Amino acid sequence: RKEVEQDPGPFNVPEGATVAFNCTYSNSASQSFFWYRQDCRKEPKLLMSVYSSGNEDGRFTAQLNRASQYISLLIRDSKLSDSATYLCVVNSWGNTPLVFGKGTRLSVIA
Amino acid sequence: EAGVVQSPRYKIIEKKQPVAFWCNPISGHNTLYWYRQNLGQGPELLIRYENEEAVDDSQLPKDRFSAERLKGVDSTLKIQPAELGDSAVYLCASSLVARTSGGNEQFFGPGTRLTVL
């Protein structure tokens, strides 16, 4: 089983739609969780960290379920500019390497 | 503030040739990472440095890959000789790791896109 698994998509949604991605991780010792965004032919950039209590940043909401070992990302009111690949990232502790999922591709269509 | 700088941005070589990539991390970041990203995949760690020490190189194919981070700042990643399967994007990232807390935001450079013919 891969350490971090994501549905590769693509998710094709109309503007204004709400879309959710899930990601599962296998290492129960994982401590830190992130969503990174990667535009086509660009480097990954941190979108948001995922906290145990869940967190929201504008139209983006991240949730963590430790019992089931999954992370989710919800995007409300999708914009064309949200089109990108969303990478689920897991880290065991501070200075250990990040483990990336393969990414979920989102296309927001006008 | 300047981000992570990488060069070259693109490199096309023939198989069996050597190639080197250079990375300058964000000033003050003590941890530097080299990743390889194949098409349709997430980045995979090759090597991680804390200052000038390579603390995790378990995924580095040591028969042909080498890396160094002299003086704990810039780093180079070398492949010699390159093989067709080495075609990928090589990403450098840096972070300032707080050992007493979890999580480390990594900042990525633009990557070097390597094509081996």
Q: Which residue in B109, B20, B111 sits closest to B64, CA to CA?
A: B20
User: Between chains, do B110 and A98 touch, taking CB under 8 Å as contact?
Assistant: no
Question: 3-class secondary structure for B46-98?
Answer: EEEEECCEEEECCCCCCCCEEEECHHHCCEEEEECCCCHHHCEEEEEEEECCC
The whole-angstrom distance between A88's CA and the closest CA on chain B is 9
What gap in Å lies between CA A30 and CA A32, rounded to an integer? Answer: 6
Closest CA to B52 of B34, B79, B75, B36: B75
Q: Enumerate the residues of chain B whose CB falls inside 8 A of the CB of residue A49.
A: 103, 105
The per-residue pLDDT for range B67-87, each reduced to its tens digit, is 999 888 999 999 999 999 999
Q: Which residues of A touch B55 (CB under 8 A)?
A: 95
Q: What is the pLDDT of residues A1-38, one digit of tens each?
A: 678 999 999 999 999 999 999 999 998 888 889 999 99
- Tens digits of per-residue pLDDT, B2-46? 899 999 999 999 999 999 999 999 999 999 999 999 999 999 999
Task: Compute CA B50 distance to the chain's CA centroid, rounded to the nearest angstrom.
Answer: 13
